[in-house]
Amino acid sequence: MYLLDTNVWLELLLQQERAAEVRRFLQSIDADQLSMTEFALNSIGLITSRLRKEEVFEAFISDILEDSAVRRICLSAFDLNECSLP
């Protein structure tokens, strides 16, 4: 399983320098092997909103979360405490 960071998704969504590389990677992996955190999702929404690209975010939600098997990970407060460093 792969956990994709906000920047990976944004690279593709905003057609940045390495968008083609991200596209090739995503095409080579089954969607059910991909995950993103709720935080990443919220960050993508915030960034696309600030850039006035709300339609990009809406398409992303539809393509990635509604029409594919990409997993969304949401950590509870308990989970966050378990992840903290000693």
pLDDT at 64: 87
pLDDT, average across residues 51-79: 88
State the pTM of this model. Answer: 0.83
Mean pLDDT, rounded, of the chain: 90
Amino acid at residue number 79: D
Radius of gyration of the chain (CA): 14
pLDDT at 80: 63
| Contact status, residue 56 vs residue 19, Cβ threshold 8 Å | no
- Report how far Cα 42 is from the mean position of its chain's Cα atoms: 9
The conformation of residue 62, written as its DSSP 8-state character, comes to: I
Q: Structural domain boundaries of the chain?
A: 2-83
How far apart are alpha carbons 39 and 65 in whole angstroms?
14
